[in-house]
Structure 1
Amino acid sequence: MPYLVAAVLALGVLGLLNLLLTVGVVRRLRQLAAAPGALPPGLHGAMPPVGSTVADFSTTTVDGMTVSRHDLDDGTLVGFFSPGCDPCVAAVPTFATAARTFPGGASRVIAVVAGTGEAGAAMVGELTPVARVVVEPPGAPGMASAFGVTTFPTATLVDADGRIRWSGPDAAALPVPVP
């Protein structure tokens, strides 16, 4: 009988410990979800599927140029970044390097920064020499929604018909050779 009582008490303590750990994980996930762009890639969205078509959009770059879906040439590279996202901050230099050597140069590269403020300005400053840069308020309809981007960072390669040929979290993984 004493062994049975000890076993029941041990199982009860393990059950309570499991409950406390689960509550802690749920609270942390809620905190992360409350901060836009703070979740690591894959936890709150997916990459745009290859073969999907980009919806119509029209927006303005930080240089005052208008960009629309019809301006996407075959092999246009488009990157999406959020200033509050650590993986995005780490991905910007890689994207800038890929954009610097991309065939066609900055005229065939678009970088979308979903957010403003000091961190957003730093991203814009790093991306402006190598890409046409668009700044969108977080959650506002624009290029991110037209592409179906729900996770940051995301890089896509688009053809002239507006279909996504490749998408991934890192421009370093672009298919080779890139047109």
Structure 2
Amino acid sequence: MILLTTAVVLVAVVVAVHLLFTFALVARIRELQQHGGAHAHNTQVPRPGTVIRPFSVTDTDGATITEADLDGPVQVGFLQVGCGPCRMLSDALVTAPPAARFVSIVQGDPDAPDATARLAAKLGVLGRVTVIGIDDPALTAFEVVAFPTLLHTHSGVVTASGTRLDDFADATTAPAKVA
């Protein structure tokens, strides 16, 4: 009988702890939904104020693109071949092209050169396109760790960042540079 009582008490304690964790999780999700809307900053993209470090890539026309080419307002899109959200974003970009100059940086897939070429051609209507490899230094220069990533830059400084076109509604001026 003591063993049964101990087992019931132990199960009750475990259930109570799980309920507390569940309520805490639900509360946190609600908090994020209320405060995390379009104005929350995605931690997977570079923060506004980030200075773009030196980089050099070759576009599909054979010309070199460096950080010096990001003078004035420029939007930079990082997309990856085979990425569903990247495909949806590229469709949205082609449908509603950005007002600022646009540079597309495509992480190609060596196992799918045709898909890489199609995505590069599709984005070519927006502006300059470059195809990079998986560990290209340009990703480090821009601090890009996830795809898709969209950046609005002004004179080499990130002014807005996100993963959707509407993340750029207020991207008009350059913020102070951050370290």
Contact in 1 for aligned 2:149/2:161 (Cα 8 Å): yes
Letter in 2 for 1:4: T
Shift of 1:47: 0.4
Give yes or no for the alignment of 1:146 onto 2:141.
yes
Root mean square deviation, CA, Å: 2.8
Equivalenced residue count is 144
Give yes or no for the alignment of 1:165 onto 2:159.
yes
Give the secondary-structure state (helix, strand or coil) at the position aligned to 1:123. Answer: helix
Give the secondary-structure state (helix, strand or coil) at the position aligned to 2:106. Answer: strand
Shift of 1:164: 0.4
Aligned match of 1:110? 103
Higher alpha-carbon Rg: 2
Percent of pairs with identical residues: 30
TM normalised by structure 2 equals 0.68
Letter in 1 for 2:135: G
Shift of 1:58: 1.4
Shift of 1:177: 7.1
- Which runs of 5 or more structure 1 residues have no equivalent in the other structure? 15-41
**Residue 73 (structure 1) aligned to one of 71, 74, 84:** 71
Contact in 2 for aligned 1:73/1:159 (Cα 8 Å): yes
Shift of 1:114: 0.9
1:12-55 Cα offsets, whole Å, 9 max, x none, are xx9xxxxxxxxxxxxxxxxxxxxxxxxxxx7xx71001101000
Runs of 4+ displaced beyond 4 Å: 8-11, 176-179
Give the Cα–Cα distance (whole angstroms) in 2 for the partners of residues 92 and 121 of structure 1.
14
1:120-161 Cα offsets, whole Å, 9 max, x none, are 22211210111200100112222x22100001100001111x
Contact in 2 for aligned 1:94/1:172 (Cα 8 Å): no
Give the Cα–Cα distance (whole angstroms) in 1 for the partners of residues 10 and 171 of structure 2.
63
Alignment of 1:19-168 (within 5 A): 46-98=44-96, 100-103=97-100, 108-116=101-109, 117=112, 118-142=114-138, 144-160=139-155, 162-168=156-162
Letter in 2 for 1:129: V
Give the Cα–Cα distance (whole angstroms) in 2 for the partners of residues 151 and 110 of structure 1.
17
> Given the superposition, is the C-alpha separation of residues 110 and 4 from structure 1 closer, same or farther in structure 2, using an over 3 Å criterion?
same
Letter in 1 for 2:115: A
TM normalised by structure 1 equals 0.68
> Given the superposition, is the C-alpha separation of residues 96 and 77 from structure 1 closer, same or farther in structure 2, using an over 3 Å criterion?
same
> Given the superposition, is the C-alpha separation of residues 177 and 148 from structure 1 closer, same or farther in structure 2, using an over 3 Å criterion?
closer
